[in-house]
Amino acid sequence: MKLIDGVERVIEGVFAHLPLKRARYGVDPVQRLRILRTQVDQLSSYEFHIELADVVTRLRDAHTRYAGPTSLATKVAALPFLVEVFGPPDAPTYVVTRVGAGLDAAFKPGVVLEFWNGVPIDKAVRRHADEEVGGRPDSQRAWSVLSLTLRSLQYGPPPDEYWVVIGYRSTAASGTPTGSLREIKVPWRVIDPGEIDEMQSSGPTGKAAMRLRHTRAVDPAAAITRRAKMLLFAPGALTGEQANAQPTPRSPSRRKAPTAKVIETELTGTLKAESLARPGGAIGYLRIYGFDVAPEEFVPELQRLIPLLPDNGLIIDVRGNPGGYILAAESALQLFTPKPIQPTRFSLLSTAFTRALATRPGMEAELGPWKESLEAAVRNGELYSQPLPITSFAECNSIGQQYGGPVVLVADSTTYSSGDLFSAGFVDNGIGPFVCVGAATGAGGANVWDYEDLRPLMAGTDFELPTLPDGIGMSFAFRRATRAGPAEGLPIEDVGVAGMPYAMTRDDLLAGNPDLLEHCFELLRQQRRSSLAVDASKTAREITVRHAGLTQLDVLFDGHPGSSLRLRAQTSVVVPYPAGTQVIELFGFGGEQLLQKRRVDARR
């Protein structure tokens, strides 16, 4: 009963998407919990937990998860291969893309799956998708395909079967299935990336880190399975080993991705940076696997990497990014644009619970900005508080542009949470073209809190939360995210961020994304190019500015107008600055358009 009481109070009192989920899916989780309370004596322990988990799963919200014991926190049920899908949604092809050691030699990357435990593979995927959390058919299918071989044991039930029987065929160079149907029997096993991965801690601790703990946006199950995938197929990334620079494999059709030169990073489990060989000049490639590193480490590492990337253009790839710290995601955007970044807005569900929470000791800094509008919502009949940013405008713009070349972003329907926020910020702030595999990003539009973070805050109030039994936990969507800029007010939850649609090809899956990269190269080629580089001399009190593609340079000294210069092509200019100047800001224009911006610390 305590478990039902706790879950019910959280869902009814603080679950940010309750009105949306009731309307969109025709479900009433609060009523289902009340009915479940009357059935407790008729259910076994296993049946009870399955029913309770189903109540939460039917919300279709990967932020809101019913969690098992903490002893399972980093454990994942795994099959030692990966399945991915290409082709149109109405005729998908399921192909094996990675295979671990110990399986039959005929079962190798490139084989096409036809059956899963005797069920036609697409039907098996669609059936399992009904148990997944995606809010759209494409995202449900994408999560279902991933969970064919990787399942978090803390955030979902273990597989029903001890092994799976897979029916597959080999393929010709064209990708057409050939030969007779084969079968392979593969047992499930439990792996634990937490045994070698120091990132699998519970996150920051102490008062100074409380803000970070309360300003996460992450799918916890996807974050765990992402690291399990690394453990199976790239274990060195979890221990700080740099990715290798071996040539990408050719697919049977002979397609091959550009040769990549790896740029070393200190965050191997979170970032991968490469220089991709290309006629006319190399192109940068930045893979952001997650935003799970504290911003004071994540953003400086990006700043260190950016000068090492080619300046002809940059592809930022956040496919499969499950999220992390909101501040890390939103403060990174400024590095790639001269425009001021407008952060995403967040609002709380207006209930007696959230109003009481906003008045609790220690919550002044955390929820103070929302307190007045929560109270006003009662008088005005509003469902939500005023939408306000979690990351301040100053934090989003404290560093400024670092990369001056054109940028394109790639995401997919499993890009979630802070990955959604990064994608939304990229689009809403007009940074560059956005390519999306699937209809839109994964559509995780919320800030996430944990039950155990909330429980001590409500002790001694009318909304006191019971201690959950047996180490059971829960995460939930706490503040609802809405977009900024030209899309201001639009929700992200269940909608996602749409971009230019792209369908993965067989060569993309088997040969290092050659078609996807070529598509991005073409988009970069179409973008306007310019550059701005600054060398400062403290002794001479002057800066030397090298530029291309710009017609005018405006300079501010400590926020005050300094000079405005007409620029001649490829001619550097020297700009003196007054004694005592601390910060110099440079704005490079091409006609009326702001193309480049740099901030120089004159004290260094």
Return the structure tokens found at 279: 């006629």
In this prediction, residue 203 has a pLDDT band, given cuts at 50, 70 and 90, of low
Over 70: is that where the pLDDT of 244 sits? no
Return the structure tokens found at 524: 């970069």
**Average pLDDT, whole number, for the chain?**
91
Rounded to an integer, the average pLDDT of 143-148 is 93
Closest CA to 474 of 64, 200, 157, 31: 64
What length does the chain have? Answer: 604
Rounded to an integer, the average pLDDT of 461-482 is 91
Q: Dihedral of the CA atoms 412, 416, 418, 423 (nearest 10)?
A: 30
Would you state the pLDDT for residue 267?
94
Q: Specify which of 149-153, 244-248, 253-257 reaches the highest per-range mean pLDDT.
A: 149-153
Closest CA to 133 of 155, 116, 160, 161: 155
In this prediction, residue 245 has a pLDDT band, given cuts at 50, 70 and 90, of low
H-state helical runs in 345-450: 352-358, 364-380, 393-396, 418-428
CA distance 36 to 561: 67
Would you state the pLDDT for residue 599?
95
pLDDT digits (tens, 9 = 90+) for 574-601: 999 999 999 999 999 999 999 999 999 9
pLDDT digits (tens, 9 = 90+) for 28-69: 999 999 999 999 999 998 888 888 888 998 899 999 998 877
Q: How would DSSP label each residue in 77-102?
A: EE-SEEEEEES-TTS-EEEEEEE-TT
CA distance 567 to 550: 7
Spatial contact of 438 and 407, defined as CB atoms under 8 Å apart: no
Residue bearing the bigger pLDDT, 527 or 571: 527
Distance of CA 516 to the CA centre of its chain: 19
Return the structure tokens found at 255: 């397609």
Write down the residue that tokens 């939930």 correspond to: 476
Closest CA to 498 of 428, 421, 407, 436: 436
Return the structure tokens found at 224: 């765990």
Closest CA to 79 of 223, 227, 186: 186
Q: What are residue 182's DSSP bridge partners?
A: 168
Q: How would DSSP label each residue in 32-75?
A: HHHHHHHHGGGS-HHHHHHHHHHHHHTT--TTSEEE--GGGTT-
Burial letters for 586-598: b for 16+ Cβ neighbours within 10 Å, e otherwise? bbbbbeeebbbbb
With vertex at residue 106, the alpha carbon angle to CA 104 and CA 110, rounded to the nearest 5 degrees, is 120
Would you state the pLDDT for residue 200?
43
Rounded to an integer, the average pLDDT of 490-518 is 95
Rounded to an integer, the average pLDDT of 267-291 is 96
In this prediction, residue 529 has a pLDDT band, given cuts at 50, 70 and 90, of very high
Q: Dihedral of the CA atoms 460, 465, 469, 475 (nearest 10)?
A: -140
Identify the weakest region by mean pLDDT among 58-72, 327-341, 521-535, 543-557: 58-72
Over 80: is that where the pLDDT of 470 sits? no
In this prediction, residue 560 has a pLDDT band, given cuts at 50, 70 and 90, of very high
Strands 407-412 and 314-317: parallel
Would you state the pLDDT for residue 201?
46
Would you state the pLDDT for residue 549?
93
